[in-house]
Every structure is written in C-alpha cells, then in structure tokens.
Amino acid sequence: MSFASVLRAEWLKIRTLRSLCGALLAVFAATTVFSAVAGVSETSDPEFDPLFMALSGIAPGQIAAISFGAMAVSSELHGGGLRLTFAAVPQRGRWFAAKVTAIAVPALLVGLLTAFVALFVARAGLGEAASGLTVEEQLRGVVGGGTYLTLMALFAAGLAALLRSGVATLSLLIPFILVVSFVVGDAAGTVADFLPDRAGQVVLHQTYDGTLGPWSGLAVTALWTAAALLAGAWSVRRRDA
C-alpha cells in the first residue's frame, strides 16, 4: 500500500473512534474553561504574567492531548488489531509514520484553535491587565501553545508504542507532569528547565529569565518527542504484534 492509502486508513480509524474524538474535544473544553476562569482571577501579583495567565488552561488541557496520543496508538493493541494492520501493511515503518501523521495533524489543528480561543476568552476577562500584550507575543503564545499540545500528544504516542500499553503510558506521564515536574522539578534547579513539559511551556510566558527561551524550549520538547517516537518506531519494527 502507498503511504497515502495507509494515511487515509489511519485517519479513518481516528475519525471513527469516539474516544479519540472525545479526547480532542476535551483538549478544547478543558483548556478554554480553565483559561476563562484564570481570566477573571486576581491580577495584583507583581509577577503577574498576562500571557501565561491567559494560556494557563493549556496545563490541564495537555492531559487530554496526552490521552489522545496514547489511545490512538494503544487502540491498535486490542483484539489482535495490530496483527491485522500488519497483515494489510507489512511495511511497519510506513504504518507507524502514517499513524504519527494521523495523530499530529488533528492535534495541531485542534491545538491552534484551542490556544486562540483560550487567549480570546481569557483576554476578555483580564481586560486592562492584558493591554500590554503585543500582537507578536500573542501570536507566539497561540502558535507555541498549539505546537506544544501537539508535541505532547506525539510524545505520548511514541511512549505508547514503546510500552505497548496506553494505561502504562498514562500512568507514567500524568503523575510525572502533575507531581514530578512541579514538586521535584522545583528542587532540581536548572536541570528541571529541560524536562519536556517545563521546557515547552516557556513559550506561553510573556517574560522569561530561565536557561531556555520560547523557541529553544519548544526545541527541547521536540527532542524528547523525537526520542520517544524513535523508540516507538524501534519497538514496532522489532517486536511481535
């Protein structure tokens, strides 16, 4: 089968699985709601960052993005589905590339739309507190936020292919992001700046004074994602279905 045919088949799988469509909807809903709530919060803190406050909903929204990536891969592992897929597409590398593309495209589109709407609704609540944001900063936040959500979905997809389990992937990533990254990360100093979530979220800040900048932080997250996808590709090619 050609790559286009495999990609079409993988897109059909994602489009017809309600759980995956629900995960993408959850990305939008969770991010927008939390950003809207943050938009009407107290802004008297001297370290108040209006861009990060407006896009703060991306932090909970990334859990849904991770779930989307993990479930898109793990859905192949149930009921011998992966064996049937490999029977139809013997070129395992081609199949995995199509699967990754079918995950990345809707994740990016939903991520960009989500970041834009979240910024819009949060700015309405922040009012004058957000008046200092420039067009360039807001554009960076929207593009960076959408890209970050996509990278985290792909990071989860790569780990799911490596671990051969969506449950194991979520059990590893969600506690890491919610606990390790914040609790242990704060005690680890500058090393924590290179964790996949903390590095990527620098792009959501108006001001930043850490080791990484907005785009270099996203590049670090992209490297983590690439490593996970390469490990997942190795697992797909070398291990039995």
- As a whole number, the mean pLDDT across the chain is 89
Closest CA to 221 of 177, 187, 186, 172: 177
Share of the chain above pLDDT 90, in %: 60
Could you read off the pLDDT of 134-165 as tens digits, one per residue?
Answer: 999 999 999 999 999 999 999 999 999 999 88
Provide the pLDDT for residue 211: 83
Closest CA to 201 of 180, 187, 215, 184: 215
First to last CA, the chain: 19
Distance CA 80, CA 87 (A): 11
Cβ–Cβ < 8 Å for 199, 221: yes
- Does 134 map to a domain? yes
- Does 238 map to a domain? no
Cβ–Cβ < 8 Å for 62, 197: yes
> E-assigned strands of 75-214?
none
Residue 1 banded pLDDT, cuts 50, 70, 90: confident
- Does 83 map to a domain? yes
Q: Which domain holds residue 83?
A: 3-233
Could you read off the pLDDT of 191-218 as tens digits, one per residue?
Answer: 778 899 999 999 999 888 878 899 999 9
Cα separation values, 45 from 50, 61, 76, 174, 183, Å: 11, 24, 48, 29, 22
Could you read off the pLDDT of 2-28 as tens digits, one per residue?
Answer: 888 889 989 999 999 899 999 999 999
Distance CA 2, CA 94 (A): 9
Q: Is the alpha carbon torsion for 105, 149, 167, 97 positive or negative?
A: positive
Residue 240 banded pLDDT, cuts 50, 70, 90: low
How many other C-beta atoms can be found within 10 angstroms of the C-beta atom of residue 12? 11
Residue 43 banded pLDDT, cuts 50, 70, 90: low
Provide the pLDDT for residue 184: 67
- Does 129 map to a domain? yes
Alpha carbon of residue 98 to chain centroid: 18
Q: Is the model's pTM score more than 0.75?
A: yes
pLDDT, average across residues 50-70: 94
- Does 227 map to a domain? yes
Alpha carbon of residue 130 to chain centroid: 25
Closest CA to 58 of 187, 195, 202, 193: 202
DSSP type of residue 46: T
- Does 80 map to a domain? yes
Residue 68 parent element (H or E):
helix 58-74
Distance CA 5, CA 191 (A): 43
Distance CA 73, CA 70 (A): 6
- Retrieve residue 122's tokens: 């949060």
Number of domains in the chain: 1
- The tokens 């802004």 sit on which residue? 43
Distance CA 94, CA 7 (A): 9
- Does 240 map to a domain? no
Provide the pLDDT for residue 86: 82
- Does 117 map to a domain? yes
